Amino acid sequence: MSLDVRRSTLVVRPENTGESVSNPLRIGRFAGVGLLGFLLQLTALWWLTTHAHWSWMTATPVAVELAVVHNYLWHARWTWRDRPGGSPVRFVRFQLANGVASIAGNAALMALFAGAFGLAPMPANALAVGVMVAVNFVAADRWVFSAADRLSARS
């Protein structure tokens, strides 16, 4: 993988190993990266609120963004390594599909599960995260790291 940081533009170019990744393997990789990103998010939130003395409201978006960038870099390098590209457009798509969509989707699903259905917050949140994992995987697979990008990269 090469990182090219010029003029505030992040470009990740995974090496094309010719590897073809099966969907179950890709889903496993996606889940593993997501779990690491979630742990990073929790750790960053803890550190920023405990040691840097930030408010949770200020620390939360910073921790979420750190996890989103972490996840993008690992997905580009490992989960979708068979789909070269790494354009800034791909990074923006990931920000929209996994960052903004996760926050908005979790809020809406929490309103449904906890608010309308009356589930306790923890099970409601676990259910919302589960739904959003599936949505995020499909968005990443079909839009962020799409086969169309792979074909245009060969041209």
Q: Give me the pLDDT at residue 10, please.
A: 39
pLDDT at 147 over 90: no
Spatial neighbors of 14 by CB under 8 A, at least 6 apart, are: 1, 76, 77, 80, 81, 84, 86
148 pLDDT tier (thresholds 50, 70, 90): low
Identify residue 136 by its one-letter amino acid code.
N
Express each pLDDT in 20-67 by its tens digit.
568 899 999 999 999 999 899 889 988 999 999 998 888 888 888 899
Phi, psi of 4 (to 5 degrees): -125, 105
Q: 145 versus 7: which is more confidently predicted?
A: 145
pTM for this one?
0.72
Question: Could you give the CA distance from residue 109 to residue 115 in angstroms, rounded to a whole number?
Answer: 9
Express each pLDDT in 109-142 by its tens digit.
888 998 999 988 878 878 888 898 889 999 999 9
